[in-house]
Amino acid sequence: MKPTFTGLMLVFFGFAVCAQNPHIQGLPGRPDPARYFQPQIGVPQINMPAPPSSFGMKPAWSPNPVVPNPTPESIMREQRAQQQAQARMYAGNSARNYDMPPCVPAQDIRPYYEAFTEIKAMLDGTQPKDLGRAVFLSENAYLKNLDYEAFNQGLENIVFSLLDQIKKEGNSIEDNTAKIMMLHRFFTDTMRIYNRQSGKYETHYPKHYDFEDPRGDVDITKQFVTKLIREESGQCHSMPFLFLILAQKMKVEAYLSTAPSHNYIRFRHQRKWYNLELTNGHLTSHSYVIGSGKVKVEAIQTRLFMDTITIEKSIAHALTDLASYYHEEFCYDAFYRDVVHIALDYEPMNASGLAALSNYYTAWFEHAKKVAGNPPYAYLDRFPQLREIFGACNALHHHLNEIGYQEMSDEEYEQWRQDVNRDWHRKTLKELKP
């Protein structure tokens, strides 16, 4: 999740547009995603004349334009004439096309489009809801070289061995807590997994936290579940998702839960709720999550954070991930927006989905402003579409504020990382790995 939210805040404050309509559904522009895969004649060209530099007026995007010092009358007359000429210049621009152009020709987005179609079918109910498949599809759309059979078989082998181990230790495989504890052991301890294809035992080491680029800012594959499986190191996105994928296969009742820039697991034992922090293998209290995650009360009340998201609903999160991988490879465009919209339809209180939509609106607004010829703020009313997009940005921002959304700032994240760094458990896990 790119931290451009702060950028959005800095850009939009000081504007005098009323923020209305907090519901996402009312916002503009929701065409049918199926049209993406129509053959395109070509990307529409937008030929924009740049405003002549001799006007001397910089496009200032602020409701309080700079008032010039009192000048002699002749200069004022000249400025008035310039303003009138500029008004005439911007007069014809409202009829332009403000939609975001596609990043690349439609053929190039085929892997994403196919992944999107299949994941959407899972959410619609026309395909079985398989979190592992959804996660695989989103990651493979980016990597394009993964083998589903190998991926799935690897997971099945793990599940088989874990269930076997539960039986060996004298517990029932119907016991939810026993299965969760075994999954916990898989993440935090060395285990031997029987590979049914090769007939050999493999040693799986504890999954530790990858401190290098954990947010995936440089290399987004750091967030991938497939990377966690391959390298046995992950972060707060891949670890909970792998846990839930295995939990679904083992028929375990476990839930995804979120905090700012963070995911973890919640489960129930004897009617009490427990939080499992996979990045350090601890069971944590609610106060710990709130304190370390800086969660706001509004977010708890609206169930934006710290809720119990079922494995089936987590598939909507996989769809949000697909959008972010798409952006990582290409850019923001209408396909990205529609993927995010569908994800939010099924999971409206999805923090990363809302952030993704907000990032899109920022980019869309910047694009639309360029299309309109960067008119000064005073001329906003002449461009109804631009005004609509601007209103949508504000409404979304207001909505996010109301529901208690926030991101972990870079300083807070660094502080948290240092705290986890000092955690003695990390040393212990490293000592376990030969």
Partner 1 sequence: MLNGKAPINFKKAVISVENAYYDGRLPVEMMEREIKRLAALALGYKQANAIAYEGRDRERFATYGSVFKVMSDTVKVVFAPGDTLNHLPFTYDFEDIAGRHDWSKMFVSKLLRTGTGNCHSLPYLYKMVVEELGENTHLALAPKHVYIKHRSDMLGMYNTELTSGTFPIDAWLMASGYIHLEAIQNGLYMEALSDKQSIALCLVDLAQGYEHKYGMDDVRFILLCVEAALAHYPNYPNALLLQSEALKAVLDQLAQQRQAAQTQAEKDSLQARHQKVLDHYTGLIKHIHTLGYRHMPEEMYLQWLASIKEQRKYQNPQLNTLKTY
Q: Is 417 in the site for partner 1 (CB under 8 A)?
A: no
Q: Is 66 in the site for partner 1 (CB under 8 A)?
A: no
Cα 180 → chain centroid = 27
| Closer residue to partner 1 (CB): 298 or 328 | 298
Q: Which positions from 7 through 36 interact with partner 1, judged by CB under 8 A? A: 9, 13-16
| Closer residue to partner 1 (CB): 87 or 300 | 300
Q: Is 117 in the site for partner 1 (CB under 8 A)?
A: no
End-to-end CA gap in the chain: 33
Q: Report phi then psi at 404, rounded to 5.
A: 85, 20
The whole-angstrom separation of Cα 199 and Cα 194 is 7
With left for phi above 0 and alpha for psi between -120 and 50, is residue 261 left, alpha or beta? left
Residue 254 CB, nearest distance to partner 1 (Å)?
Answer: 17
Residue 432 CB, nearest distance to partner 1 (Å)?
Answer: 31
Q: Is 399 in the site for partner 1 (CB under 8 A)?
A: no
| Closer residue to partner 1 (CB): 381 or 411 | 411
| Closer residue to partner 1 (CB): 218 or 297 | 297
Q: Is 173 in the site for partner 1 (CB under 8 A)?
A: no
| Closer residue to partner 1 (CB): 92 or 291 | 291
Q: Which helix (H) or strand (E) holds 187?
A: helix 176-188
3-state secondary structure of 141: helix
Exactly one of 96, 282, 303, 387 binds partner 1 (CB under 8 A); that residue is 303
The whole-angstrom separation of Cα 295 and Cα 85 is 51
Q: Is 352 in the site for partner 1 (CB under 8 A)?
A: no
Exactly one of 129, 296, 313, 341 binds partner 1 (CB under 8 A); that residue is 296
The whole-angstrom separation of Cα 278 and Cα 265 is 8
Q: Is 406 in the site for partner 1 (CB under 8 A)?
A: yes
Q: Is 401 in the site for partner 1 (CB under 8 A)?
A: yes
From 124-132, 174-182, 200-208, 404-412, span contacting partner 1 (CB under 8 A): 404-412
Among residues 183, 267, 188, the alpha carbon closest in space to that of 433 is found at 188
The whole-angstrom separation of Cα 291 and Cα 306 is 12
The whole-angstrom separation of Cα 247 and Cα 186 is 12
| Closer residue to partner 1 (CB): 197 or 301 | 301
Exactly one of 134, 183, 247, 306 binds partner 1 (CB under 8 A); that residue is 306
Residue-wise DSSP of 406-417: -PPPHHHHHHHH
Residue 286 CB, nearest distance to partner 1 (Å)?
Answer: 5
| Closer residue to partner 1 (CB): 28 or 65 | 65
- Alpha carbon distances (Å) from 318 to 130, 206, 336, 349, 406: 11, 24, 14, 14, 21
Q: Report phi then psi at 154, rounded to 5.
A: -55, -45
Exactly one of 298, 328, 345, 423 binds partner 1 (CB under 8 A); that residue is 298
From 134-142, 219-227, 301-309, 369-377, span contacting partner 1 (CB under 8 A): 301-309
Count of residues in contact with partner 1, rule CB under 8 A: 24
Q: Is 268 in the site for partner 1 (CB under 8 A)?
A: no
The whole-angstrom separation of Cα 113 and Cα 132 is 18
